[in-house]
Amino acid sequence: MKTVDMKAVVSVIGKDRTGITAAVAGALARLNINIEDISQTIMQSNFVMIMLVDASAATVSFDKIGEELQSAVQPLGVTVHVQHEDLFHAMQRV
């Protein structure tokens, strides 16, 4: 059975604090989602991270990925958004 390529863009925004990257990466690993590219910065004390991930082998449905990630980072007070790569690119063209 051939695996369907399913890429997503994960964005994380919130007040900078220790453990944000670890929490997101750990949750993605538990969901069997591979991080393919990552960029993060601090903008006026706000943590901003964008990742391109491969969710082809995810252990949950695409619709549940955002819920799982938000649950993992809830104690850290940051917000997570997950968009299918195609939707992300379409929004960039608008």
Segment (H or E) for 25: helix 20-30
* 28-76 tens-digit pLDDT: 999 999 999 999 999 999 999 999 999 999 999 999 999 999 999 999 9
Q: Would you give the DSSP letter of residue 5?
A: P
> Looking at residue 2, what is its pLDDT?
42
Whether the predicted pLDDT of 90 surpasses 60: no
Answer whether CATH 3.40.50.300 is correct for domain 7-93: no
Q: Write out the E strands in 1-94.
A: 7-15, 34-43, 46-54, 79-84
Q: Where does residue 61 rank: exposed (0-12), middle (13-18), buried (19+ CB within 10 A)? A: exposed
> Looking at residue 38, what is its pLDDT?
97
Q: Which residues 6+ apart lie within 8 Å of 22 measured at CB?
A: none
> Looking at residue 93, what is its pLDDT?
57
